[in-house]
């Protein structure tokens, strides 16, 4: 299955052109598919909740190091922590799985080149954690999710990028070769 995203809203397109430094090379579903593929290669069990939290750790770590998102979707403050809604709904439509979704070798190589070491580091550190442990990790006080959901009471809205950067500057997973 190949996913193509077309932007035909002139206002949205002009926003991306004006803010091109925030355009990411990949979408969240492509990145989740790569992450899932690498997790399986390392014999890590993956489910819907776990992929969400691992995506968030990759997203936050990359954002803290590079100052821009690794993929195009913003995490939202949902009940069980940060969620990338596109990935969530895609997986829900596919029995909580990314199974069968393939991404091109070109995209795989781009992800590997840009942040393959980061993904490996995240999986080596967090890959054997349970979904519940990862949820608890994202619910710690002073995380971006905790500020948005618990303190500000804003549910199902985008997490603040500056809060994510602050969170991951304290709890970074290093991408030693990709810096």
Q: pLDDT tens digits for 109-162?
A: 999 999 999 999 999 999 999 999 999 999 999 899 999 999 999 999 999 999
Domain boundaries, the chain: 26-170
Is residue 158 packed enough to be buried (19+ CB in 10 Å), middle (13-18) or exposed (0-12)?
middle
Q: How many CA atoms lie within 13 A of 60 on its CB side?
A: 30
Residue 99 clears pLDDT 80, i.e. is over it: no
According to DSSP, residue 146 is labeled I
Residue 18 clears pLDDT 70, i.e. is over it: no
Q: At what angle do helices 28-41 and 105-126 cross, to 10 degrees?
A: 60
Rounded to an integer, what is the distance from CA 107 to the centroid of its chain? 16
Tens-digit pLDDT profile for residues 74-98:
999 999 999 999 999 999 988 888 8
């Amino acid at each position: 299955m190949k996913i193509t995203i077309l932007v035909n809203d002139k206002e949205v397109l002009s926003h991306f052109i004006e803010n091109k430094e925030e355009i990411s090379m990949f979408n969240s579903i492509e990145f989740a598919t790569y992450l899932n593929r690498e997790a399986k290669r390392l014999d890590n069990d993956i489910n819907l909740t776990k992929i969400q939290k691992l995506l968030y750790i990759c997203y936050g770590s990359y954002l803290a190091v590079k100052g821009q998102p690794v993929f195009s979707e913003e995490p939202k403050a949902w009940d069980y922590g940060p969620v990338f809604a596109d990935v969530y709904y895609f997986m829900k439509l596919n029995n909580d799985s990314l199974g069968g979704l393939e991404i091109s070798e070109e995209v795989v190589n781009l992800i590997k080149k840009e942040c393959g070491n980061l993904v490996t580091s995240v999986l080596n550190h967090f890959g054997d954690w349970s979904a519940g442990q990862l949820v608890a990790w994202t619910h710690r006080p002073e995380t971006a999710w905790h500020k948005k959901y618990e303190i500000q009471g804003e549910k199902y809205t985008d997490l603040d990028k500056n809060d994510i950067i602050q969170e991951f500057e304290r709890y970074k997973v290093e991408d030693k070769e990709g810096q």
